Structures are given as structure tokens and as C-alpha cells.
Structure 1
Amino acid sequence: MQTKTWQLPDNFIIGAALSAWQSEGWSGKKEHQDSYLDLWYKNNKHVWHDGYGPAVATNFRNRYKEDIGYMKEIGLTHFRTSINWSRFLTDYENAVVDEEYAAYISDMIDELQAAGIEPMLCLEHYEVPAVLFEQYGGWASKHVLELFLKYTEKVLERLGDRVKHWFTFNEPIVPQTRMYLDAIRYPFEQNTKKWMQWNYHKALATAHVVKLFKEMGLKEKTGAEIGVILNPEVTYARSTAAHDQEAARIYDLFFNRVFLDPSIKGEYPEELLDLLKKHDIMFESTKQERLIIRENTVDTVGLNLYFPNRVKARTSAWNEDIPFHPERYFDPFALPGKKMNPYRGWEIYPTIMYDMGMRMKEEYGNIKWFIAENGMGVENEPRFKNKEGIIEDDYRIDFISSHLKWLLQAIHEGSNCQGYMLWAFTDNVSPMNAFKNRYGLVEIDLENNRNRALKKSAHWYKSLIETGRFEAEDEEIYK
């Protein structure tokens, strides 16, 4: 198959992402400043690959100037990360700022901007303080929501005049899905109603932050925007048959529209609310809260897209004696002959970029959006080093190219996509998988003081940013 040269639109963002907890390490952290992730790691260190976790991570906290130097060398225009809520404050009830950590965040922003890199900051990337999780049940509690707003106000008071890209949450559905729906992460409790309450409180928190943003006049003062970063799974039915289509529709309600709709449209799908009531998992809410959601939708949305989700109608009866789970309505479907990333166990299907782009255009008012994460994790990358010691990660270059190609087709057809952020800037710690699968443009050498080195993909990414052009297979795409 022949290749073709593709051209990015003017002013298209090309950047990379990395969260606080996955990079900073614990240097300077006070004893009581654990996040939920720190708590989980301390309680279940053995389930993290080779025992690596957030304790050291990539040591970004002490090496951020070095790392920003690599960002500048690559030519990143934007860098997305998070502020660690559990570390930004010393007193969560009264929102007392940890001046040492706040100074680090301020210095990091200065360093980024001096390098010509726009910071994009997320207020919570799984980093709910452990003490709030233990005392109040985390996001099950309205009090925790109130404390999050106090924290947010402190952050915006200090940094709101310097940063133009703000986000409430990264993948707000993920922690509670792992904890309370599938019960595969600490504290391993299957509680679907609690799962739904966490979902609701995070959607409500986003609306409250949007309201605060308006009240502070940040958009008028600086042109700043407030959004949320979601991870909708582009869901395909096994077949065109009604039963399979229904399975895909219900999956979409529970896992995608549960955040897309309140964040962008200001309301929940009535079909979803009916199902929550039917199965006695309806979240507790007030009319005033629902009004806040309706009147405070986001300016922009980041979407993390890695793989497609495929489902089919259930082929066995659901056991009504066990707690409700959305899987009552569907089974996973493995597409025969699918292309796979064998290391992560995820299907590679770049068409998700186009299909999601068209959905944002047609179902969500063509809101301004961007790819907040997309990337490929590969195990044992040192085996791909050449004689100069550079990891030749052509598979990553091919992955990015094929996804960008489909994204450009969506833009060509009118989808309001503003950019692409690669996960990740460097190799980093992931939940449980730790450093097993590597995602970075920059290698982190765990055997050699976590020294850094650019991979082949970093040089390719630099060329992409400088020229706005890339090569990809000229396969048939939607017209």
C-alpha cells in the first residue's frame, strides 16, 4: 500500500500529557498528603508490576527543568498535566495551601512558558486525598465535593491569570469503575449505587467549577477556558441486529453519555435515568444541583481515545441475586482478525478518531474538543535499541500517524477538533502495570538513575510539529 503526505490544520495543537501522580514522586510530600493512589499502592504494593508505583515515579518533581528542556527540544507547543490536590493543601477542610508544593507548580509553569510551551492543567487526575477517601468515602460525599471547590478556588486565585487551559477531571469515571463496579482495585467493594453517586458528584463538581470560573471572570480577563477530560469508549455492536444494537446503546448510556451529556448538554439522558431508577441505583440529587449542571456546561472537552469497545447482546441469563451491573445488558465481543497491541491487550482501530469526531459534531453541538490522550504502550522497548542506543519505536510512529489520519478526516468534514496530545511525554507509572508498558517519546531508564533519552518517535514528533506534515498509508477512508 502506498503512503501519502498528510497536512495538519493551521494552529493545530500538538503536545503531550503526563499526570502529577504518575510522574512527580513523593519527594517533599508530607506524611498526611497521600492521595488515593498512594494509599492503594501502600496497601497493595504487590499488585503493581515489579513493585514500582508513585513513590519515585519519574522524579519529575526534582527533574522538571530537565524534562521541560526535552519538551523544548522536541518542540511541544502544549503540555498537559495535573495539580495534585492531595499535595497542594496541608489542610483540606480549610484549604490551607502547601507553599512549598505551590511554589513548585508556579515554577513549573514559569519554566514551561519560558520554553514557549502552554500548560494545560487538570485539577484532579485520580488524586483525591487519601484522608478524604478514608473519612468521608471520597466522591460519595457531598462534603468532599465542597472541599474540592475550596481547593479549586485556591488554585484559580493563584494561577488563574497565568494558565489558559483548565480541566476539572481526567477520566472521572475510571477510579470508581475499578473500585466499586468491577471491584478490581482497593478497596475491592462491588457497590453499583456508590459507583453512580461518584459519577454524579464529579459531574456536579465540574458544573460548580464552571460556575466559579464565570464568577471569577477568568475567560474575560485572560481568555481562559474550562473543560473536562473524558474517556468515552467508541462502542460498536457486533451486528446490525436489533438485540446487538440495543446492547451497544445501553453500554453507551452507562459509560459514555453518563459524563458526556451533563458536561456538554447540561442534562442526563432520560433513558439512563429510567434505568437507574429501575435498578435502584439512582444517585441522590436536588433540583438546585440539576439546575447548576444545566446552566454551567464546559467550554471545551478533551477526549482520551485508545481503542474501540465492542459488545453484543447477552447470551446467558443474568443472575438477579447479585448486585446490578450494566453487564446485565451486554457481553463483550472480540472481533475476529482484529489488529492488536499484544502488550496492552487493546485493539488498534484508528477509525475511532473519525467516528468520535463525527459524533461530537452531530450529537454534541460541534463543541470545541481535542484528543487529550492517545498512545501505544509496549513492553521491553530496550530490545528495539539501535547501535547508537536509540529506541527505534516505529510501531509508535505508525500508531500516531494512522490515528492522526482519521482525525484529520473528521476535521475535514467539519468536526471542531483543536489538537492532539500524545500519552505520554515520557515513560511513566501506570496503575498496577507500573513501568511494564512504555508510552513515552522519552525513555526513562530505571536501571540508570531514571536517566532520560529521546526515542526515534521523539525526533519524528519534532518534525511533525515543525512541518505540520506526516506520512501515512493511503488507505480508503470515508468520503
Structure 2
Amino acid sequence: MNNIPKGFPSNFLWGGAVAANQIEGAYNVDGKGLSVADINEYVDGIPLEKKSNTELTTDYIKEAITSEDRIFPKRWGIDFYHTYKEDLKLLRELGLKTFRTSINWARIFPNGDEAQPNEAGLKFYDDLIDEILANGMEPMITLSHYEMPLHLTTAYKGWYSREVIDFFVRFSKVVIDRYHKKVKYWIIINQINLIAYESFNHLGIAEDVVDDLDSAKYQGVHNEMVACGLVTKYAKNLNKDLQIGMMLCGGPAYPATCRPEDVFATVRRNQMEYFFADVLLRGYYPGYAFRYFHDNNITVEFGEGDEEALKNTADFMSFSYYYTRIFDEESMKNKTGAYRNSDLPANPWGWTIDPTGLRTLLNLFYDRYQCPIYITENGIGYHDTLEEDESIHDSYRIDYFRAHIEQMKEAIKDGVDLRGYYAWGPIDIISCSSSEMSKRYGFIYVDQDDFGNGSEKRLRKDSFYWMQKVIASNGENLD
């Protein structure tokens, strides 16, 4: 009997994804407090590979808060806070069936530890979600996407402090209570495994307030996972039809050689990337994680009730996919991390292009978890050229998406229960890692430079019209 699917399901969700901190701007409007993203600095002239805020100190935080001449582009984003109606109309024209964004925690609880939410912040999301629905798109909402109130990093120690569990659960309950009748799909923590490259943006732990940063990171993410369990339980009790998801940053590593030592080192490396999904989808810590903590002198303390909270598992898995890396025994011994595969092409930022890796990962994840999967970020950053006639010819982006969509279709034929695909940054936004505007992902060009200068005019790229045809044909027309 032949049960191989012929293509994408008829109800497949073609979508686009953004983060509030990279798109909204209006960082000090309507009572919003500072978030960790509001001190992500853009520094012109430093090498591309160095443009990343990974670890920040308390001195940096204090200086950033008071600075009057440094550049923090996420404070202005692309002014989506004021342009969302026009932007959502363009995304409807593109054909999106669903739109993923986050709710900025610091807009709802400006300091994070207040007893009552900021009603003006909630009013903005009332209007935004209504507008998403009015444009025929299913909203998918992320509760935590690098928008922790900055106060929680200075008065506390970010997610390292157990008090933050209660603060986040309070925030989540307010939001879910408000929108559970309008929003079906939820992701609690964005890319929860991304603690090496985004430990401050993600966990809010300044590197100089803890004695052992590695242990602090794993304690912080443990506290996050406990919070996920508590929020999942609350949401399902409120409305059993809500779909609560978890999300990984999904860049697997391949063994650099076929030496058994390199193969096994890569298995161990990948295990600790999947660890977070193992907990959130299976409900308990796997044995290999305890071995890793022991071998690396990492301490994670469980609080009373933590094990019970973790049993409230997610309904679906989601992940971002941008690139793959390679790994070997020496990388494990020296703790240097996975590195670029020079056999693969890459964009100017060194992010390798590996469409087959997406099919590989979809198969690995579905084999491992046997639950619905959504690709909640995929895309590529390039420098786009605005021509004199205001056209943008981005055939390189079309080639990238074509190749990845082809591999998604193959994975569905493999039996993977893939239900949705969210292109990252369907409209140009501020880069997460480097805070630059010139690293563009969108199908829609925003006339704005790295310093916030420009007309802010929205222009359709060639890829806009191509993706429009892809979605209209449910993934069949890739020409």
C-alpha cells in the first residue's frame, strides 16, 4: 500500500515570523520599559563575524542605559508599532496564512516584577492581533523572544534567579487570559537551546554577577523550562484546544570525519542541543544530560515541585533553521564549538547554505519526538541593492527558498508531520545578532539604513512575487 504524500497538506500554514524587539520600535512609548534588546548596540566598522552581543556586564548595562550618543537600532526597529496596519496588508498580499510575532514582556510589565500589567501595552496587542486576524492570518505568539525587562537583569540575575519564574508566569497568564480566544498557537520560549550565543539576550544573566557562568546558564534555562511547564499547565486548563509549542535553534552538526571518535563527539554535541526538546516534549531530564553536567562541573539545582512541573509537555515542536556546522573530537576537548563546513557555500556573514540539512533535521526530530512540527524560522540575510527604479533583484534569495522548500516537500514524503513554515523576516527588520539593518531577510524591502536613516518606504522585492506564487500553489509552483 502506497501512502506517500504527494505534496504539502491542503491546510499547510505558510507564514512569516518576526520578533517584537526587532520590528516594533517605540521603545519608550505608552509606558514600555527597557528590555535586554534595547541595549543591543550597533557599532559601525567592526568585522561582520564580530557584530554580536553575546555576554554583557553590569557596567555595560549602566553605560548603555545612560548613553546619548551610541546606536541601539532595536529601539526604533522599522516602526512597526505605528505601521503595522500597512505592513500586514502587504503580508496579506504576499499570501501569508499565518504570522508569528512576540509580545514584548517589557511592554506589559515594564520592570518585570510589578503586580499589575501596563494596560496601554496590552491595548497595542489587542489591536495588533485583531489586525492579523482581519487580514486572514492565523497568529502564532511567542511569549519570550529576547524581550526580558532590563530591570530583571539588574535588580535580580535574570533567569538565574528563581523569582523570575513567578514573574514570567504572571506575565504569561495575563497574556494568555487576554488572547486565548483569538490565538490558538503559542511558543513559550524562542530558541530555548540558544544559550551560547545569546545568553544575555536570552537569559538576562550579566557575566559578572555569577561565579560560574556555565552553571548559571544551565540553571537559568532549567528555571525557564520549569516556567514552561507551569505556563503549559495553566494554558491547557484554561482552554484545552490551545496548541502550546516549544522551539529550538535547529542547526545540527555533522562529524568532520568518519573517525569513530569524531562521530561520537558529534553525537554528544548534538545531544546537548536536543536536550531542551527532550525535557519539554518528554517531561524529564535524560541521562546523558546528567553525564554532561558531571563531566563539565556544572551544577543545576532542582526546586521543590520542579519535576512535576516539567511533566506538562508541549503539544508541538518547532525550530529555526539557518545553517549547519561540523564537529570533531578536538572541538569537544577544547570546547571550541562546531565550525563552518568549507565545502558549503555561505552568505557574507559565514552562514552556510545547506538545504539537505533541513530535510535531515526534520527526519531526525520526527523520528525522535513523533509529534507535529513547525519550522518557525528559516531564511537568509544578504545585502540587497535598491535600483534607481526602486526594484530589488534578489534571485539569490529565491534560489535559497526554492531549495529549502523542495527539501521540506521531500521530508513530508518521508512521513514527517510538518504542518507549517514561517519564513524569517518576511519584511526587512533589525538583525538579532548584529543589530544592523543591512543584513536583510525580507521579501519586502524597508528603505532604512543601519543608523535609522531613510524614507522607511516599503518596496516589493522580486522574491515577493515569487513567494506569492509559491504560496498560492501550496508549494507546487517553484519556478
TM-score (norm 2): 0.86
SS in structure 1 of the partner of residue 420 of structure 2: strand
Q: Deviations over 1:269-290 (max 9, x none)?
A: 2112122023321211136212
In the alignment, is the contact (CA less than 8 A) between 2:30 and 2:120 conserved in 1?
Answer: no
CA distance in 2, matches of 1:181, 1:442: 26
Aligned to 1:477: none
The 8 Å contact of residues 24 and 57 in structure 1, kept in 2 or not, is answered as yes
> In the alignment, what sits opposite 1:420?
421
CA distance in 2 between counterparts of 1:301 and 1:409 reads 19
Secondary structure of the corresponding residue to residue 429 of structure 1: coil
Task: Decide whether the 8 Å contact of 1:123 with 1:168 is kept in 2.
Answer: yes
Cα distance in 1, alignment partners of residues 341 and 456 from structure 2: 39
Residue 68 (1) aligns with residue 88 (2): yes
Residue number among 75, 79, 104 corresponding to 1:55 in the alignment: 75
Contact 1:52/1:435, CA 8 A, preserved across alignment: no
Match of 1:228 in 2: 246
Instruction: Identify if the C-alpha distance between structure 1 residues 36 and 469 changes in structure 2 by more than 3 Å, giving closer, same or farther.
Output: closer
| Residues 40 and 186 in structure 1, CA contact (< 8 A), matched pair in contact too | no
- Offset, 1:329: 5.5
Any conservation in 1 of the 2:325–2:340 contact (CA below 8 Å)?
Answer: no
C-alpha change, 1:104 and 1:396, in structure 2 (3 Å) is: same
Shift of 1:361: 2.1
C-alpha deviation, 1:22, in angstroms: 0.4
> What is the match of residue 448 of structure 1?
454
Aligned match of 2:295: 278
Aligned-pair CA distance for 1:93: 2.8
Q: Calculate the aligned-residue CA RMSD, in Å.
A: 2.7
* CA-CA distance at 1:186 after TM superposition: 6.3
Q: Distance in 2 between matches of 1:142 and 1:196?
A: 13
- C-alpha displacement at 1:200, in angstroms? 1.1
**Corresponding residue number in structure 1 for 2:313:** 297
Aligned pair in 2 of structure 1 residues 211, 469: CA closer, same or farther (>3 Å)? Answer: closer
Residues 443-474 of structure 1: per-residue CA shift (max 9 Å, x gap): 1101433111111111111111111244569x
Task: Give the % identical residues.
Answer: 26
Instruction: Report the CA distance between 1:215 and its aligned residue.
Output: 2.2
Q: For the Cα contact (< 8 Å) 2:469–2:477, is it kept in 1?
A: no
Kept in 1, the 8 Å contact 2:16–2:424? The answer is yes
The structure-2 alpha-carbon separation of the partners of 1:419 and 1:336, relative to structure 1 and needing over 3 Å to count, comes to same
The equivalent of 1:457 in structure 2 is: 463
Equivalent residue for 2:472?
A: 466
Taking structure 1 as the reference length, the TM-score comes to 0.86
C-alpha contact 2:153 2:206 (8 A) present in aligned 1? no
Superposed counterparts of 1:192-341, under 5 Å: 192-216=214-238, 218-219=239-240, 223-254=241-272, 256-286=273-303, 288-293=305-310, 295-314=311-330, 328=334, 332-341=338-347
* Residue pair 1:312, 1:331 contacting (<8 A) in 2 also: no
Q: CA distance change for structure 1 residues 127 and 94 in 2, over 3 Å: closer, same or farther? A: same
Higher fraction of strand: 1
Q: 1:100 aligns with which of 120, 134, 158?
A: 120
Alpha-carbon distance in 1 for matches of 2:223, 2:164? 9
Indicate conservation of the 8 Å contact 1:119/1:163, yes or no: yes
Are residue 362 (structure 1) and residue 367 (structure 2) matched?
A: yes
Deviates more, 1:238-247 or 1:15-24: 238-247
Q: In structure 1, what is the equivalent of residue 134 of structure 2?
A: 114
Q: Cα gap change, 1:332/1:115 in structure 2, threshold over 3 Å: closer, same or farther? A: closer
Task: Give the conservation status (yes or no) of the 8 Å contact 2:382–2:439.
Answer: yes
Instruction: Give the structure 2 partner of residue 406 of structure 1.
Output: 407
In structure 2, the CA distance between the partners of 1:305 and 1:312, relative to structure 1 (3 Å rule), is same
Indicate how the Cα distance of structure 1 residues 467 and 44 shifts in structure 2: closer, same or farther if over 3 A, else same: same
State the distance in 2 between where 1:247 and 1:181 align: 28
Q: Distance in 2 between matches of 1:155 and 1:29?
A: 19
Alignment check: 8 A CA contact 1:90 1:96 kept = no
What is the deviation of 1:32? Answer: 6.9
Q: Deviations over 1:181-227 (max 9, x none)?
A: 999x96578711111111211122111111111221x12xxx32111
Q: How many Å separate the matches in 2 of 1:20 and 1:32? A: 12
Q: Mean Cα displacement is larger for which, 197-206 or 410-419?
A: 197-206
Give structure 1 stretches of 5+ with no counterpart. 1-5, 316-325, 474-479
Query: In structure 1, what is the equivalent of residue 9 of structure 2?
Result: 9
In structure 2, what is the Cα distance between the partners aligned to 1:123 and 1:180? 17
Q: Is the 8 A contact 1:180 1:188 kept in 2?
A: no
Alignment partner of 1:149 is 2:169: yes
Distance of 1:352 and 1:175 partners within structure 2: 22
How big is the shift at 1:229? Answer: 2.0
**Alpha-carbon offset, residue 170 of structure 1:** 0.8
Matched-pair contact (CA < 8 Å) for 2:322–2:378: yes
Structure 1 residues 306-342: Cα deviation after superposition (integer angstroms, max 9, x where no partner): 1012111117xxxxxxxxxx6645653443432212x
Q: What SS class does the counterpart of residue 347 from structure 1 fall into?
A: coil
Distance in 1 between residues matched to 2:312 and 2:377, nearest whole Å: 25
Runs of 4+ in 1 over 6 A off after TM superposition: 180-183
Query: What secondary structure is seen at the aligned counterpart in 1 of 2:75?
Result: coil
1:72-131 deviations in Å (ceiling 9; x for gaps): 111111000000011112463344121111111011111111111111100010111100
1:77-96 equivalences under 5 Å are 77-90=97-110, 92-96=112-116
CA 1:265 to 1:212, structure 2 compared with 1: closer, same or farther past 3 Å? same
> Counterpart of 2:156 in structure 1: which amino acid?
Y
- Count of residues in correspondence between the two structures: 444
Query: Which sits farther off after the overlay, 355-364 or 27-36?
Result: 27-36
Q: 1:435 aligns with which of 419, 434, 437?
A: 437
Aligned to 2:56: none
Cα distance in 1, alignment partners of residues 201 and 418 from structure 2: 32
1:342-357 alignment, distance < 5 Å: 343-357=348-362
Q: Which consecutive residues of structure 2, in runs of 5 or more, have no partner in the other structure?
A: 1-5, 42-60
In structure 2, distance between residues paired with 1:181 and 1:195 = 12
